[in-house]
């Protein structure tokens, strides 16, 4: 039973009956009889009530009893017993009658007029009587409660109409006018007690005011808590945003630190396990999920995870994940902000250079392409992969293309196997050592070569190797989309012509060339959410969920082979991105999308830089010369 702190307010029937039982007990009545100071008696009543489970103060008990006595006397005085109306005035009439009939007679007039309870005089030390009349009458009106106090209480008023004064203001004078029916009602109650009528008229607005006051207090309290909650939520949001911003800044600092340390002679020789990480002290605590030991549970720990395990020791994955998520939450961010965000993701996948690594750990990339007609394309792709940061670059080409390609560059490992009878077996031997595959540059469209390419793709998929498909590889996909459909580590890089062919082959209808974004999204979805890069004035990248545009400034120069630079560098970045993802970084973003964006921005930057030097005479070889500085500018600054 809850304590009721309002004097005489909302007494339940059960509570009132319990009070009357206690109050009616012989010792209580005897103690009250003739005692001027009764506060100690009501203290006892209150205590006994408490034992019965009702928490009321002595003052509340006294006021309630006084109120009940008034009701009783009113009913008795109005001689309502004979017509059965007495219960409406005094619900506990019978109990009161039983108790009071054993006591000396009360003087009703004295009780009503004085507001003090006859034989129960007030102890002026403990229980103040000042202003009590109005509140007692209030209790009198509201005290009858048909339900236990825990349930919602419906206030019951005596059915006797109570006159309601209406305030009329005329000029500066205000007078109270009694409504017509009110005056009639008043005469029903008693013609002998004008003073009491005056009191009742005064009590009704008081009661209303009290109700209004309580309602308003409750509302004000509600509002206060609601506002407080909103304030706390806003504070939380602000703190989270601040935290994310700080992490972002720290990450950028880490990248800067890393690039500084990697350019300083000797600084790259920081031992991974014993010295602070090369990236930055801010990421010094490697996540348990990214430790060397735990990387063994990854699906294909070797060779794919060679660089990821290094990274996982150096990067705490959580800040990365935060940044990835943040990028996706940026619906209305400016283009520049979006570019910055995704560039920072690309930065985060670039493995640090340390003296602890052995050759091959940062990537061994294979190019499937190169035939009699096209020797430049596989070369561009393979050399770009090397210059971006792969440790080894293999070219699997036809026999007659091999010597030519070798002559372009001693850095490349060239396998003249593509047109041999056991081409697939020859290439398959190398697959366990490869981290990424680029299929198509200079491949040509001969059926036998396309068949070999198809089987190599199948075998690479089984090994979970990231595969970039470009140029004639896309011709193959156009004939047989299922070769790569739904492979989550697959990326298609069509130019507009290649895209159109592919789109129409899949959708069996002409492409709507007015909405490239829609078309590229549709193609990605049709290919099982494969990452698709539609190259052009803006490179559009999607995995079927969202289209990201890369429009870093290039130049107006469109020389052949730029797409090969793009696909070769994408092969390396795809490996890094998936390795980072497997190590727990950037789990919420498709690593292929990150890699694609990285490669597009790099190609465009190379184009821009080469054009600044060579203008109209810019060639892809000139662009390849720019890879080192462009990479540094974009991803290591």
Ligand X SMILES: Nc1ncnc2c1ncn2[C@@H]1O[C@H](COP(=O)(O)OP(=O)(O)OP(=O)(O)O)[C@@H](O)[C@H]1O
216 to 8, 221, 411, 596: CA distances (angstroms): 20, 8, 84, 61
Q: Smallest distance, Å, CB 492 to ligand NAX? A: 13
CA-closest candidate to residue 590, choices 499, 637, 528: 528
Among 303, 561, 571, 584, binds ligand NAX (CB under 6 A): 561
Instruction: List the single partner that 562 binds among ligand NAX, ligand X, none, CB under 5 to 8 Å by kind.
Output: ligand X
**Strand 173-177 versus strand 531-534 pairing type:** unpaired
By C-beta, is 316 or 493 nearer to ligand NAX? 493
Instruction: List the single partner that 339 binds among ligand NAX, ligand X, none, CB under 5 to 8 Å by kind.
Output: none
d(CA 352, CA 258): 7
Residues 400-425 as b/e (b if ≥16 CB within 10 A, e otherwise) read: ebbebbbebeeebebbbbbbeeebbe
Name the closest residue to ligand X (Cβ).
Answer: 563
d(CA 95, CA 21): 8
Query: Which region among 149-157, 244-252, 347-355, 533-541 touches ligand X (by CB under 6 A)?
Result: 533-541
Q: Smallest distance, Å, CB 575 to ligand NAX? A: 21
Among 277, 466, 544, 563, binds ligand NAX (CB under 6 A): 563
Neighbours of 288 (CB within 10 A): 9
Is 500 annotated as belonging to a binding site? yes
Is 555 annotated as belonging to a binding site? yes
Neighbours of 101 (CB within 10 A): 8
Is 47 annotated as belonging to a binding site? no
Instruction: List the single partner that 604 binds among ligand X, ligand NAX, none, CB under 5 to 8 Å by kind.
Output: ligand X
Does 536 bind ligand X (CB under 6 A)? Our answer is yes
Residue 440 tokens, joined: 């198509």
DSSP code, position 281? G
Residue 115 tokens, joined: 């507001």
Residue linked to tokens 């069509």: 494
Q: Smallest distance, Å, CB 603 to ligand NAX? A: 13
Among 600, 606, 610, 627, binds ligand X (CB under 6 A): 600
Neighbours of 238 (CB within 10 A): 10
Q: Smallest distance, Å, CB 259 to ligand X? A: 24
d(CA 290, CA 378): 35
d(CA 91, CA 68): 9
Does 560 bind ligand X (CB under 6 A)? Our answer is yes
- Binding marks (x or -) toward ligand NAX, 484..523, rule CB under 6 A? -----------xxxx-------------------------
d(CA 360, CA 558): 33
d(CA 298, CA 311): 14
Does 554 bind ligand X (CB under 6 A)? Our answer is yes
Does 554 bind ligand NAX (CB under 6 A)? Our answer is no
Name the closest residue to ligand NAX (Cβ).
Answer: 376
CA-closest candidate to residue 618, choices 563, 552, 535, 560: 560
By C-beta, is 418 or 566 nearer to ligand X? 566
Is 581 annotated as belonging to a binding site? no
Is 501 annotated as belonging to a binding site? yes
Instruction: List the single partner that 366 binds among ligand X, ligand NAX, none, CB under 5 to 8 Å by kind.
Output: none
CA-closest candidate to residue 470, choices 568, 583, 357: 568
Is 598 annotated as belonging to a binding site? no
Residue 317 in contact with residue 289, Cβ under 8 Å?
Answer: yes
d(CA 304, CA 364): 9
Does 376 bind ligand NAX (CB under 6 A)? Our answer is yes
The C-alpha angle with vertex 64 and arms to 61 and 68, in degrees rounded to 5, equals: 135
Instruction: List the single partner that 443 binds among ligand NAX, ligand X, none, CB under 5 to 8 Å by kind.
Output: ligand NAX
Residue 511 in contact with residue 519, Cβ under 8 Å?
Answer: yes
Residue 466 in contact with residue 574, Cβ under 8 Å?
Answer: yes
Query: Which region among 27-35, 70-78, 209-217, 563-571 touches ligand X (by CB under 6 A)?
Result: 563-571
Among 382, 471, 484, 624, binds ligand NAX (CB under 6 A): 471
Instruction: List the single partner that 600 binds among ligand X, ligand NAX, none, CB under 5 to 8 Å by kind.
Output: ligand X
Instruction: Tell me how many residues contact ligand NAX (CB under 6 A).
Output: 18
Does 471 bind ligand X (CB under 6 A)? Our answer is yes
**Which residues define the annotated binding site?**
442, 495-501, 535-539, 554-564
List residues near ligand X by CB under 6 A. 471, 495, 535-537, 539, 554, 558, 560-564, 566, 600, 603-604
List residues near ligand NAX by CB under 6 A. 374-377, 441-443, 471-472, 495-498, 536, 560-561, 563-564
């Amino acid at each position: 039973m809850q304590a009721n702190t309002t004097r005489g307010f909302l007494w339940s029937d059960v509570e009132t009956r319990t009070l009357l039982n206690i109050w009616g007990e012989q010792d209580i009545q005897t103690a009250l009889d003739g005692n001027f100071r009764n506060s100690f008696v009501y203290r006892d009543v209150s205590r006994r009530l408490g034992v019965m489970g009702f928490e009321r103060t002595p003052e509340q008990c006294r006021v309630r009893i006084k109120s009940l006595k008034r009701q009783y006397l009113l009913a008795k005085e109005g001689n309502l017993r004979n017509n059965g109306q007495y219960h409406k005035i005094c619900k506990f009439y019978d109990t009161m009658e039983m108790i009071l009939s054993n006591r000396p007679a009360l003087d009703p007039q004295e009780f009503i007029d004085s507001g003090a309870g006859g034989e129960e005089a007030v102890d002026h030390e403990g229980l103040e009587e000042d202003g009590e009349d109005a509140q007692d009458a209030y209790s009198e009106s509201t005290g009858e409660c048909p339900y236990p106090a825990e349930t919602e209480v419906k206030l019951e008023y005596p059915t006797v109409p109570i006159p309601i004064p209406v305030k009329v203001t005329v000029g500066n004078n205000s007078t109270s006018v009694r409504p017509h029916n009110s005056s009639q009602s008043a005469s029903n109650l008693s013609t002998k007690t004008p003073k009491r009528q005056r009191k009742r008229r005064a009590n009704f607005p008081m009661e209303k005011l009290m109700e209004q006051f309580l309602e308003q207090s409750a509302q004000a309290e509600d509002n206060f808590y609601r506002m407080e909650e909103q304030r706390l939520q806003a504070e939380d949001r602000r703190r989270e945003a601040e935290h994310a911003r700080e992490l972002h800044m720290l990450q950028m600092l880490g990248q800067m630190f890393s690039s500084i340390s990697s350019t300083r002679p000797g600084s790259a020789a920081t031992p991974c396990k014993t010295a602070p990480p090369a990236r930055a002290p801010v990421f010094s605590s490697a996540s348990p999920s990214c430790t060397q030991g735990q990387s063994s549970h990854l699906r294909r720990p070797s060779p794919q995870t060679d660089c990821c395990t290094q990274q996982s020791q150096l990067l705490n994955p959580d800040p990365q994940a935060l940044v990835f998520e943040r990028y996706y939450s940026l619906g209305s961010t400016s283009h520049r902000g979006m570019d910055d965000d995704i560039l920072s993701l690309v930065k985060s996948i670039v493995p640090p250079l340390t003296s602890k690594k052995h050759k091959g750990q940062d990537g061994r990339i294979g190019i499937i392409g190169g035939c009699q007609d096209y020797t430049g394309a596989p070369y561009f792709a393979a050399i770009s992969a090397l210059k971006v940061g792969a440790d080894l670059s293999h070219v699997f080409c036809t026999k007659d293309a091999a010597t030519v390609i070798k002559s372009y560059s001693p850095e490349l490992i060239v396998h003249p196997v593509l047109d041999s009878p056991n081409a697939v077996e020859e290439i398959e031997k190398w697959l366990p050592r490869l981290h990424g595959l680029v299929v198509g540059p200079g491949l040509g469209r001969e059926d036998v070569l396309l068949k070999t390419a198809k089987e190599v793709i199948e075998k690479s998929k089984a090994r979970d190797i990231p595969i970039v498909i470009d140029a004639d590889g896309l011709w193959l996909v156009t004939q047989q989309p299922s070769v790569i459909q739904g492979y989550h580590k697959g990326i298609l890089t069509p130019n507009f012509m290649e895209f159109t062919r592919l789109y129409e082959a899949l959708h069996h209808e002409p492409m709507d060339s007015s909405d490239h974004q829609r078309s590229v999204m549709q193609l990605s979805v049709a290919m099982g959410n494969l990452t698709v890069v539609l190259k052009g004035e803006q490179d559009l990248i999607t995995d079927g969920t969202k289209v990201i545009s890369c429009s870093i400034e290039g130049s107006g120069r469109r020389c052949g082979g730029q797409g090969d630079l793009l696909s070769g560098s994408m092969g390396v970045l795809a490996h890094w991105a998936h390795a980072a993802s497997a190590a727990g970084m950037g789990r919420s973003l498709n690593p292929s999308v990150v890699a694609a964006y990285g490669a597009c921005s790099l190609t465009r930057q190379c184009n821009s830089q080469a054009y600044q030097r060579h203008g109209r005479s810019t060639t892809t070889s000139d662009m390849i010369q720019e890879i080192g500085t462009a990479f540094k500018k974009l991803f290591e600054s």
